[in-house]
Amino acid sequence: MATSTHSLSGLAMLSAIVAAVGMGTIGVFSRMAELSPEIVTFYRLFLGALFMGAWLVVSRQSIRIGDGDGGRLLLSGAFLAGFILCYIQAMNLTAMANAILVIYLAPIAATLFSRLFFHEMLKPQQWLAMALALLGFILMQDAPDGNSASTLGLAYAGLAMLFYAGFIIVNRRCSEHTPAASRAFWQLATGALLTLLVSLASQQSLVVEAGKIPWLLAIGFIPGFVALYCAVLALQRLPTAVYGTLSYFEPVAVIVFGWLFFAETLSAGQFLGCVLILGSGIGPALMAAVTARPIAVK
3-state secondary structure 244-275: HHHCCHHHHHHHHHHHHHCCCCCCHHHHHHHH
pLDDT attached to residue 2: 39
Half-sphere exposure of 81 (CA within 13 A, CB side): 26
Distance CA 18, CA 257 (A): 15
- How confident is the prediction along the chain (298 residues), in pLDDT tens digits per residue? 334 444 447 788 889 889 989 988 887 888 888 888 888 889 999 999 999 999 999 998 888 887 778 888 999 999 999 998 898 888 878 777 677 778 877 877 887 887 777 677 767 776 777 777 777 767 766 655 556 667 888 889 899 999 989 998 888 888 877 888 898 999 999 999 999 998 888 888 888 888 889 999 999 999 999 999 999 888 888 877 778 778 878 877 877 887 788 777 767 777 787 777 777 766 666 666 555 544 444 4
CA-CA distances (angstroms) from residue 93 to 30, 69, 70, 99, 145?
12, 36, 35, 9, 12
pLDDT recorded at residue 273: 76
Q: In this predicted structure, what is the pLDDT of residue 66?
A: 75
How wide is the angle at C-alpha 22 spanned by C-alphas 32 and 263, nearest 5°?
40
Contact 248, 280 (CB under 8 A): yes
Between the two ends of the chain, the Cα-to-Cα distance in Å is 6
Among 97, 136, 90, CA closest to 272: 136
pLDDT computed for residue 216 by the predictor: 93
Residue 3: predicted pLDDT: 40
Q: How far apart are CA 295 and CA 291, in angstroms?
A: 13
* Cα 206 from chain centroid (whole Å): 24
Please count the CA atoms within 13 angstroms of the CA of 247 that sit on its side-chain side: 31
Computed on alpha carbons and rounded to an integer, the radius of gyration of the chain in Å comes to: 19
Reported as a single tens digit per residue, the pLDDT across 171-207 is 888 887 788 889 899 999 999 999 999 888 888 888 8
Can you tell me the distance from the alpha carbon of 12 to that of 9, in angstroms, rounded to the nearest whole number?
A: 5
* Nearest residue to 31 (alpha-carbon basis) of 262, 263, 265, 264: 262
Tell me the one-letter amino acid at 209: E
d(CA 107, CA 119): 16
Number of helices (H) and strands (E), helices first, in the chain? Answer: 13, 0
